[in-house]
């Protein structure tokens, strides 16, 4: 069983993955480009674990044990001994490829799984940056990671089956996630269905078909969704939604994946949803 895990990125997704890995008993090393980002990630994890204690889902002893398994670094070279690495940085193809090219040289275990948490980019594109593409696959978690039980497993055409088994086994056996399998196509399973749904809701607002409140209420009460598509888009981040839409439109060329002008204008205005305090709804 995998014990030494590396997480690239301490943002919302990276810190969530690091938290569940530490709670599962793994030795977790988290990388960030700057110390201030690493400190922010650590604080995010500490806050989340403290909430777990408050809600009675975690003991104080287990919280402290999890924190003791976490180490933070700004040096990728520290990942040499990792058995599994999960990248969770910005959805930028160039940056991801650069990180994987470096990890390919640094991580010594030839069967170490080098995983990307990308929600939209084809895995083969990322694997092409390495000399050992057999180690690269997609392992896509969902936000918030400590709460949502799903992970998508996406092998590239070049991924070794043994590497897939190592990554999936860790996600299911150690982290307790439910795994579903997708072919290496932009959006995989969930976002292939979810993104056009959210974009359709944006177009409805843009065209004056209905108010944002009625659209969200309609999907909650009429389709039994836990939240409406516009509330969900705000939670995901409108900039992330726009980026994924662009990647998927490039891949498929279908109008349902085209980014609506309203969404692009909101991103340009800095109204990116819950994280900025303003999106389709106000959060200040």
**C-alpha span between 58 and 158 (Å, rounded):** 40
Rg over CA atoms, the chain: 19
Can 4-181 and 192-276 be said to share one CATH topology? no
Of 48, 117, 191, 276, which one is the catalytic site residue?
A: 191
The conformation of residue 273, written as its DSSP 8-state character, comes to B
Of 152, 168, 186, 276, which one is the catalytic site residue?
A: 152
pLDDT at res. 255: 95
Residue spans per domain, the chain: 4-181, 192-276
Give the chain's mean pLDDT.
96
pLDDT greater than 90 at residue 122: yes
Please write the tens of the pLDDT for every residue from 52-77.
999 999 999 999 999 999 999 999 99
pLDDT greater than 90 at residue 249: yes
Helices 238-252, 190-206: inter-axial angle, 10-degree rounding? 110
Q: Which of 1-5, 101-105, 177-181, 265-269 has the lowest mean pLDDT?
A: 1-5
CATH for 4-181 (3.40.1350.10, 3.40.50.2000, 3.30.428.10, 3.40.50.720): 3.40.50.720
Extract the tokens encoding 197: 């749904």
- 191 classed as catalytic: yes
- 119 classed as catalytic: yes
**pLDDT tier, 262 (very low <50, low <70, confident <90, very high otherwise):** very high
Q: Which of 212, 9, 204, 210 is nearest to 92 (CA)?
A: 9
pLDDT greater than 90 at residue 186: yes
Q: Which residues contact 139 (CB under 8 A, 6 or more apart)?
A: 86, 113, 115, 116, 117, 151, 152, 153, 154, 167, 168, 171
Extract the tokens encoding 122: 């084809």
**pLDDT tier, 1 (very low <50, low <70, confident <90, very high otherwise):** confident
- 143 classed as catalytic: no
pLDDT greater than 90 at residue 39: yes
pLDDT at res. 284: 84
Please write the tens of the pLDDT for every residue from 76-89.
999 999 999 999 99
Is 1.10.1040.10 the CATH classification of the domain at 192-276?
yes
Cα three-residue angle 199-205-211, rounded to 5 degrees: 130
- 186 classed as catalytic: no
pLDDT at res. 260: 98
pLDDT at res. 231: 97
Of 119, 120, 132, 186, which one is the catalytic site residue?
A: 119
Please write the tens of the pLDDT for every residue from 188-221.
999 999 999 999 999 999 999 999 999 999 999 9
The answer to whether 38 and 72 have CB atoms below 8 angstroms apart is: yes
β-pairing verdict for 150-155 and 136-141: antiparallel
């Amino acid at each position: 069983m995998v014990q030494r895990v590396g997480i690239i990125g301490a943002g919302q997704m990276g810190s969530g993955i690091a938290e569940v890995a530490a709670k599962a008993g793994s030795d977790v090393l988290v990388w960030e480009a700057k110390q201030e980002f690493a400190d922010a990630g650590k604080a995010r994890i500490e806050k989340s674990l403290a909430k777990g204690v408050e809600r009675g889902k975690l003991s104080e002893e287990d919280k402290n044990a999890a924190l003791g398994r976490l180490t933070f670094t700004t040096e990728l070279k520290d990942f040499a001994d990792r058995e599994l690495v999960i990248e969770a940085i910005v959805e930028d193809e160039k940056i991801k490829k650069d990180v994987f090219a470096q990890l390919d040289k640094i991580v010594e275990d030839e069967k170490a799984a080098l995983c990307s948490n990308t929600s939209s980019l084809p895995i083969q594109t990322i694997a092409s940056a390495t000399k050992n593409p057999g180690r690269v696959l997609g392992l896509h978690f969902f936000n918030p990671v400590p709460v949502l039980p799903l992970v998508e497993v996406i092998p590239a055409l070049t991924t070794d089956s043994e590497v897939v088994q190592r990554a999936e086994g860790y996600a299911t056996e150690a982290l307790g996630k439910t795994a579903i399998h997708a072919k290496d196509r932009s959006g995989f399973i969930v976002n292939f269905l979810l993104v056009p749904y959210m974009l359709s809701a944006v177009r409805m607002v843009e065209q004056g078909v209905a108010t944002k409140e009625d659209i969200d209420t309609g999907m909650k009460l009429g389709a039994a969704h836990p939240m409406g598509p516009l509330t969900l888009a705000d939670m995901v981040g409108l900039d992330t939604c726009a980026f994924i839409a662009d990647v998927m439109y490039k891949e498929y060329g279908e109008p349902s994946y085209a980014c609506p002008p309203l969404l692009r204008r909101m991103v340009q205005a800095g109204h990116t949803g819950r994280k900025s305090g303003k999106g389709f709804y106000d959060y200040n």
